[in-house]
Amino acid sequence: MPDPDLNRFLPDWEPPQFASAAGIVADALRSLEPPQRIDVPTWAERDRRLSTPNYTGPWRNDFAPYMTEPARMLTSRKYGAVVFVAPARTAKTESLIQNAIGHRVVCNPRNVLVVCATRDAAREFSIQKIGGLIRHSPNVRERIAGKDNTFDKSFRGNMRLRIGWPVISQLSMLDIPDVFLTDYDRMVDDVDGEGSAFDLGRKRTQSFHSLGMTVAESSPGRPVTDPDWTPETPHEAPPTTGILALYNRGTRGQFYWVCPHCHEPFRPVMDRLQWDQDKPMGAAAKSAEMICLHCGGCIGPDRKDELNTAGMWLHETDDGTLVRVDDAAIRDTDIVSYWCEGPVAAMQSWEQLVLRELQARHEFETTGDETTLKSTVTLDQGRPFVSSALDLGDGLNADMLKGMAKPMPLGVAPAETRFVTIQVDVQGNRFVVQWEARGVGLETWLIGRTELSTPPEGAPDQQTSRAIDPGRYSEDWAALFPLLEQPIPVAETGMSLVPRALCIDMHGSPGVTSNAYRFYREVKRRGLGGRVFLSRGVGGQQRRDRAALREPEKENQKRGYRNRRSDIRYIELSTDDLKDEVALAVTRKVPGPGAYHISDGMPDRVFAELAAEVRTDKGWERRKPGLPNEAFDLAVMGRGLAIVLKAERVDWDAPPPWAAPVEQNSFAVTVDAAPERKPAPVAPVRRRRGIRGQRISKR
Ligand SMILES: [Zn+2]
């Protein structure tokens, strides 16, 4: 059994001075009283008094009814910890910490340690929250005995209340039956190298066995570590550190409303709020309604209190089914945990919630700064924040990229396009092809994507409906030639641009490299040498050249051509560096030089491929082996191609003819050219010498 008189361990304890004999006897009698067997919410309605500008009178549990069950658990013998995740204005600190302190003072005097995020927060908590509790609730006030300092208060029955902050000296000193952690996600993750404040707190309560209690409450403030995570059970929270990690260790309770239309239970979460998006901000926020998950019925804000009162917490079992807290099948853990979002918050209207969201989004879209957005998502909505600005360590996120996609028709270049490139990835049974349009400052638009899997006319076995086989049949590579001649319409100009260049990745299955060389020689024979490039990626960060033309020297030496120039040149891509650049470009929020825009008409797999890799300390790696990443590779290739074309150094006011505005561009053709007419792909095709900077090798 725990030692009930812990004060004898406290070095600076002293008895209250000027105590009367009668008072001492009364105090002694009180400390001999058995703990009053009422729970925290019952105590609060009986003894707690509030005095705020809006309300003066007794505490009422029906004010924030969703807090009653969690507060009841503060006297649970089954659970050693209560974890509560919710936004601001849910009355969570009042219900779980202040009421628990009042309950201990009056019903069960024992030592309590409150841990706030910082020393300043602890001072504020003491003055505002504890000061208010004592001032307005006579039953608490009359029990003050002895010390009444900011961080240290004594009550009758040898109870001591300390208010501290997460430093190891405070969290390691004593065995304490009650450790209450408030605003947990504003605390450091690791207290002086000794572990989390929650785990250190639990150690303090351990010797009290089922009588000990650790509480942690907070809005979720930690970033999601895997933006592509999907839950495995109905209530699992995304992977983060902090309070949501504690929540996942517990019973994972979430709050449900019963729909007044179809009587089915659903979670009143932020994603179920709907508003009129065509109205200006203020009016849109006023139109906010909750939409039932099951019947789609609309629920107005006037019904929030009623639905909160009739609402219920459902927790997970070990296999993810949902039960009430007293069900024996509940998850086997000694932490009872809860999470609810902004729409249930008693002191926050839906109108405020939506207005803050809209204002924050507007700020984010106009300035690119997401501080306000993060604050409203975590503090007002009670949800973890997933940054849209890319943290390269976390990699890219398909949903985020999709959310940022632009409404642009596929196959059409925007009016400001200066040149178009094509990138080709060689797969075992197909060529994967992407078109990019580039404008001033190399602003880039991903405008097309296709896969070529049918062998071209005249290829071996072409009639047998086999798939393209780039490693086996060099003839299949002829399928790429029409791409070079196909003009891309440029919006609003009545003209089209023939692709400036095409680049093919030459790694892949056996036979691909030698067939790529064969194709390249045919390209040069047709006079297209300045427009077609082979490429090969090399990993490793901070390489000397991000992209540079190389010759396959070793092969030549092997064949005895040591002193001859190779007839083959390819682009060596420094893939890790270029992937960093592409990752930053695709997540750039505002248009302009360097931004990479994706058409929202792109198939989902393109977004998934762009997000297939994560940036590690060593470079980029696929999230899972074999995950398709063609779109990412092709964007990297496009960037390398632009570098080799010296497009980065173009003076956009005096550009070379191939990078001029469409009206003067040497690759431009008129759209209404008859389809049968062979597209006239411009100068480089006919010239013996390539365009400036791209010398065609002599054969
Ligand atoms: Zn319904």
Measured in angstroms, how far is the CA atom of residue 259 from the centroid of ligand 1?
Answer: 5
Measured in angstroms, how far is the CA atom of residue 357 from the centroid of ligand 1?
Answer: 25
Measured in angstroms, how far is the CA atom of residue 304 from the centroid of ligand 1?
Answer: 15
For residues 30-55, average pLDDT: 84
Measured in angstroms, how far is the CA atom of residue 195 from the centroid of ligand 1?
Answer: 45
**Is a pLDDT exceeding 60 seen at residue 571?**
yes
Measured in angstroms, how far is the CA atom of residue 262 from the centroid of ligand 1?
Answer: 4
Tokens of 538: 């090399």
Measured in angstroms, how far is the CA atom of residue 310 from the centroid of ligand 1?
Answer: 15
For residues 364-369, average pLDDT: 56
Interatomic CA distance for residues 450 and 435, integer angstroms:
9
Measured in angstroms, how far is the CA atom of residue 303 from the centroid of ligand 1?
Answer: 14
> Quick check: 477 and 659 in contact, CB under 8 A?
no
Domains and CATH numbers, the chain: 33-219 (3.40.50.300), 251-386 (no CATH), 414-553+564-670 (3.30.420)
For residues 575-601, average pLDDT: 84
Does this model's pTM top 0.85? My answer is no
More confident residue, 539 or 215: 215
Interatomic CA distance for residues 499 and 641, integer angstroms:
13
Mean pLDDT across the chain: 86
Measured in angstroms, how far is the CA atom of residue 313 from the centroid of ligand 1?
Answer: 18
Range list of H helices, 233-376: 243-249, 281-286, 304-310, 350-367, 371-375
Measured in angstroms, how far is the CA atom of residue 238 from the centroid of ligand 1?
Answer: 27
Q: Annotate 41-71 with b (16+ C-beta within 10 A) or e (fewer).
A: bbbbeebbbbeeeeeeeebebebbbbbbbbb
Least Cα distance to 411 among 441, 432, 437 occurs for: 437
Measured in angstroms, how far is the CA atom of residue 257 from the centroid of ligand 1?
Answer: 10
Residue 539: what pLDDT?
A: 83
For residues 130-157, average pLDDT: 95
Cα-flanking dihedrals φ and ψ of residue 608, to 5°?
-65, -40
Measured in angstroms, how far is the CA atom of residue 299 from the centroid of ligand 1?
Answer: 9
Percentage, residues of the chain above pLDDT 70 = 85
**Is a pLDDT exceeding 80 seen at residue 585?**
yes
Measured in angstroms, how far is the CA atom of residue 307 from the centroid of ligand 1?
Answer: 12
- Contacts by residues 559-566 (CB-CB < 8 Å, ≥ 24 positions apart): 565/697
Continuous segment of H or E residues that includes residue 163: strand 159-164
7 pLDDT tier (thresholds 50, 70, 90): very low
Measured in angstroms, how far is the CA atom of residue 263 from the centroid of ligand 1?
Answer: 6
Kindly report the number of other CB atoms within 10 A of residue 23's CB atom.
13
For residues 348-352, average pLDDT: 96
> Quick check: 183 and 116 in contact, CB under 8 A?
yes
Residue 346: what pLDDT?
A: 93
Least Cα distance to 244 among 399, 378, 347 occurs for: 378
| 117-121, 336-340, 404-408, 579-583: the lowest-pLDDT one | 579-583
Percentage, residues of the chain above pLDDT 90 = 67
Least Cα distance to 575 among 425, 404, 445 occurs for: 425
678 pLDDT tier (thresholds 50, 70, 90): very low
- Give CA torsion, residues 237, 242, 245, 247, to 10 deg: -80
Maximum C-alpha span of the chain:
114
127 pLDDT tier (thresholds 50, 70, 90): very high
Interatomic CA distance for residues 153 and 148, integer angstroms:
4
For residues 235-256, average pLDDT: 96
**Is a pLDDT exceeding 80 seen at residue 473?**
yes
For residues 71-94, average pLDDT: 96
Measured in angstroms, how far is the CA atom of residue 323 from the centroid of ligand 1?
Answer: 20
The CB-side HSE value for 459 (13 A sphere, CA atoms) comes to 23
Measured in angstroms, how far is the CA atom of residue 296 from the centroid of ligand 1?
Answer: 6
Residue 559: what pLDDT?
A: 53
